[in-house]
Amino acid sequence: MHGFFISFEGIDGAGKSSHIEALAQALRAAGRNVVLTREPGGTALAEQVRQLLLHQAMDATTEALLAFAARRDHVRQVIAPALARGDVVISDRFTDATFAYQGSGRGMDWNTLLEIERLALAGIGEKADSVLKPDLTLWFDLPVQVAARRLAAARTPDRFEALDEGFFAAVSAGYAQRCAQDGARFARIDAAQGLDAVWQQVQQAVAARGLLQPDA
Ligand code: TYD
């Protein structure tokens, strides 16, 4: 069995969390070993970096360098070994988040981010000459106003969640651009719909990759 790497993406308040849990359960019920993880985070080192990123003021380039340093450790220690074992890896965010948040949101040049990505990730895992990308990225897309309402009801904001709707509109545009550039990898989920309808879309996208039965 081949390993398979799924990432969940979207602006804060898009509602990824419950579907990440549900997908892990469905895949386990289908007989797969599932490693559930998140970014920033997923290793002891990367979880410490997460605390810095979410709570310490810094400029965008420092954010990107920290995000990729954490990602390198995460890929080396967790993601690449799991994929080599044939597991399914589900990560709550991955590299697309850095392009969307530090790139489109905070204005960093995407070519610079591509260079940092190459420096941080090239040569880890099976493909020596390329950087690891998810096999499938579920992009939870919804209007920023809807996400903002959900967030306001939910919790105390971290550094990113406290930013304004203009920031999230830019982040959203970044995700749309990543999706346009890599359409085969992305599945756009209409996250403004109700819980059941969103779950149907998630299931369908995963089933289309042969990992679940369509009506599982
Ligand atoms: P998130 O994944 O939404 O976790 P929680 O639901 O627990 O708040 O929080 C991570 C935050 O970090 C989110 O606002 C996006 C941001 N982020 C970046 O800015 N760059 C990155 O590379 C990653 C992975 C996340």
Q: Map out the domains of the chain with their CATH numbers.
A: 4-207 (3.40.50.300)
pLDDT at 130: 86
Cβ(42)–Cβ(74) below 8 Å: yes
Is residue 32 predicted with pLDDT exceeding 80?
yes
**Among 134, 98, 93, residue whose Cα is nearest residue 9:** 93
**Residue 7's pLDDT band (boundaries 50, 70, 90)?**
very high
Asked if 11 and 147 touch (Cβ cutoff 8 Å), the reply is yes
The pick from 8, 12, 18 for probing ligand 1's pocket by mutation, whose C-beta has the most ligand atoms within 8 angstroms, reads: 12
What separation in Å is there between the alpha carbon of 50 and the centre of ligand 1?
8
Largest CA distance in the chain: 46
- Predicted pLDDT of residue 213: 81
pTM of the model: 0.96
- Integer Cα distance of 40 and 71 in angstroms: 7
**With 70 as the cut, is the pLDDT of residue 26 above it?**
yes
Segments of 97-169 assigned E as strands: 136-141
| Ligand 1 centroid to residue 91 C-alpha, Å | 12
